[in-house]
Amino acid sequence: MREKISIVSMASISAMGNSSEEVWEHYLGDEHTFIEQSFDKFSALVSPIEKANWGIVEKLRQEDVHYEDLDPSVLLAIEVSRSAIKSTDWHDKDFGINIGSSRGATSLFEKYYDEFKMNNLGKVSTLSSPTTTLGNISSWVGHDLQIKGPTISHSITCSTALHGVLNGIAWINSGMSERFLVGGSEASNTPFTLAQMRALKIYANKNSKYPCKTLDFSKKQNTMIIGEGASVFCLEKGVRQKALAIIEGIGYATEPLKHNISISTNADCFQSTMRMAMKGMAKNKVDIIVMHAPGTIKGDISEYNAIKEVFGDAHPALTSNKWKIGHTLGASGGFSLEMAILMLQHQRFIGIPYLTDGVEPSQINKVMVNAVGFGGNAVSILLSLA
């Protein structure tokens, strides 16, 4: 990475709340956010945004006639982007946006497809196409904030948010932009999305005290659970005094797949990304790794194997937030990044309550965040204290 990048602001909304204070308080507790929800033909565990916070998001529809037909994933992104920008001095609007999503406007897509199937002439609503395109998220956030810079949307499945960070860094280091708003948004608690995850045989099928058993390597069943939310970050070039955290290193890799949804036994892609992010740094300098660890048998163990390949048995402290908030797909890397920043700020390790034999760092100076998605597109980001 040519130059260090400062994260000067962040904002999120999820089942854990819509402020850093709420989110941190939630991390200090041992409770998860999962509930059993009905999806007409079946029910499934999900991590939903609370009704009060959805109410805040839905109020956006009343502000502008053009917002009435937007997908929840777009409204979530607008809400958190407004919050993040409020904490900056970006008053001239000269910055770029890259907010991605794995599923995008899935609520509207499912709605309009049902409409198409039910109509005898195969007709759909006029706005069915423009409101379901992937570019909706960043373009509408750009419209809402009235920015002057580029607006980019992309989908790289579950590593989407961290790829947004990489893209923002690339623009900044190229000299084409000084500042970028990046992240991910996912309103994926929908019937068809849940049905697809269940069809893959990776979804949790029973409730318990901790139904998503991420990093429990003794589990006999897959336990992934879907969540929803959005998280964004404001990036600036160089080391800023006002920074929440500093991005010191980045890593990215793609590995050839033997199956549509799997990565190799030792997650070769993660080995590459973690080594790239460290770039010769001593292994013992990394205090914590926030793992992708979706709660599936193979997904968890392959990433752990990669960590052992890179760091050996004396690896950093390991954690993940999937046991608490579930897998928010394209937004998940952003929530992991938020967790890492909060641990750096509060100098407190957030572990997993059902795992009692892990190592906890005495001081937190550097945290690595991992994400990977279908397609083997892995990312690692190394953060340090500001």
CATH number at residue 76: 3.40.47.10
Q: How far apart are the first and last CA of the chain?
A: 17
Q: In which domain, by residue range, is 241 found?
A: 5-385
CA–CA–CA angle 168, 169, 171 (5° rounding): 65
Residue count of the chain: 386
Q: Within 10 Å of residue 3's Cβ, how many Cβ atoms?
A: 11
- Looking at residue 285, what DSSP letter applies? G
Rounded to an integer, what is the distance from CA 73 to the centroid of its chain?
A: 13
CA–CA–CA angle 355, 356, 357 (5° rounding): 105
Structural domain count of the chain: 1
Consecutive H or E run containing 145: helix 136-145
Report yes or no: 81 and 57 within 8 Å, Cβ to Cβ: no
Write down the pLDDT at residue 258.
Answer: 66
Q: Which residues of the chain have pLDDT under 50?
A: none
Write down the pLDDT at residue 177.
Answer: 94
CA 233, CA 250: separation in Å to the nearest integer?
Answer: 16
Which pTM does this prediction carry? 0.97
CA–CA–CA angle 154, 187, 100 (5° rounding): 15
- For 259, residues 6+ apart whose C-beta sits below 8 A from its C-beta are none
CA 373, CA 382: separation in Å to the nearest integer?
Answer: 19
Coil, strand, or helix at residue 180?
Answer: strand
